[in-house]
Amino acid sequence: MFVAFRCYYCSSSTVTKKLLLLNRHLLQSSSSSRASKSPSSCFNSGVNNTTGSFFFSSDIPPSSSPLTTEPSIDISTFQAKLTTLAPSIYKSLRSNGYYATPGPYSVLPQHTIQRMREQSIHLRQMGRFEPSWSEKIDAITGKVTRFNKEGVFACEPDGQDYYDAPDLIVYLSVMLSTLPNLLNSQQQDDEKEEEEVGAYGLSASSFNAKLAVTSPGGSVYPLHIDNPQGLSVGDTRRLTCILYMNPDYQDGDGGELRIYYCGNDESKSSSSLSATITNTNDENNNSSETNKKKYTVDDITPEGGRMVLFWSDEIPHEVLPTGPTTTAAANRSVDDVMQDRYALTVWIPTEYYHTIHNPRSKFANLGVEVFSK
């Protein structure tokens, strides 16, 4: 029986509020003396100006908190990195359903990742984090069961957090203003792909983000698909984008992201460990080659600065137990905060709803195969 797990996301009304909060601070900062480093700069100097897709509400009061630190992200450099990587990201998403940067600090430098981790810890110390949870969905009955993820805590960053975590908010704003158009443009140049599966229609008109920390000592995320139900519950998330903020990560710290995919491995990252799984559990117990179900598993280390992207509605994934898991790391205490695994996720939706759970996609049956293994 196919049982889906859904990664928690906030309601549409909360998404709207989060977007309002984010963009109020983007607009406010455009008139400040910090213009060169403010998140509004991503609309003024970027390769993909999407100002028109954002809106402003005078009903939300500005934060009274002082800016605790200047953002360190160089927006134009970050956008240029995304632009350079866009062909590789597109090719890997098309072929394998996911993309991972070839190594740490491919999109942001180490000092910025360290700052983002420090700002994440600051938000946690402020009490912004809560125990993280997910939902188990029975594919036959549709029954939804909520469960907590032991040792995992999360919050939903938005514009009000700019004064306490400016780099996190600048990162989110640049991703939203840049990446959807870059990938849409890549697909438009690939007429065959667009004809076969339809246009991506990735959009910055709404967003959802999650900042999560996984504690050491065996904490896990169960196997799941972020958006298994799609339009039946109003979920339009299409692309999951994860940034890891663990600059002190060592072999044996665990917490690897395990990705399941069926592809030709054209763009396989050197940061992952790959294995091909063959599932022969068909109804007739027929082990002929034509009835074997094959998919590949990649384990991606959550090193600081590594970015991973995959299709939210199609790609099964899980997080392996956090360490210490080897003799080399066993002398590190499970209470060592350096082993806390921080990840910032932003989900990008599509405006072309027919692309969600698209039966023409090469990954359409991947979830069924993986969950029935």
pLDDT in tens, 269-325: 444 555 544 443 444 444 444 445 578 999 999 999 999 999 999 999 999 998 865
Q: How many helices (H) and strands (E) does the chain have?
A: 7, 13
Band (pLDDT 50/70/90 cuts) for residue 338 is confident
pLDDT score recorded for residue 139:
62
Strand partners, 242: 308, 345
Sign, CA torsion 105/106/109/112: negative
Q: What is the mean pLDDT of residues 327-338?
A: 57
Residues 6+ apart with CB under 8 A from 31: none
Distances (CA, A) of 307 to 10, 98, 292: 23, 11, 32
Instruction: State the Cα–Cα distance between residues 47 and 275, nearest whole angstrom.
Output: 38
Q: Residue 245: helix, strand or coil by DSSP?
A: coil
Distances (CA, A) of 328 to 246, 252, 254, 324: 18, 7, 12, 8
Confidence (pTM): 0.79
Q: Does residue 127 have a pLDDT over 80?
A: yes
Instruction: State the Cα–Cα distance between residues 332 and 97, nearest whole angstrom.
Output: 35
Band (pLDDT 50/70/90 cuts) for residue 40 is very low
Average model confidence (pLDDT) for the chain?
Answer: 76
Q: Does residue 337 have a pLDDT over 90?
A: no
Q: Does residue 254 have a pLDDT over 80?
A: yes
Distances (CA, A) of 153 to 41, 80, 246: 31, 32, 16
Question: Do the Cβ atoms of 177 and 46 come closer than 8 Å?
Answer: yes
pLDDT over 70 for what percent of the chain? 65
Question: Do the Cβ atoms of 86 and 183 come closer than 8 Å?
Answer: yes
pLDDT score recorded for residue 330:
52
Question: Do the Cβ atoms of 153 and 120 come closer than 8 Å?
Answer: no
Q: Does residue 334 have a pLDDT over 90?
A: no
Q: Which two tokens stand for residue 205?
A: 């008109």
Q: Does residue 65 have a pLDDT over 70?
A: no
Instruction: State the Cα–Cα distance between residues 281 and 371, nearest whole angstrom.
Output: 12
Q: Within a 10 A sphere around the Cβ of 216, how many other Cβ atoms?
A: 25
Band (pLDDT 50/70/90 cuts) for residue 68 is low
Q: Does residue 80 have a pLDDT over 50?
A: yes
pLDDT score recorded for residue 124:
93
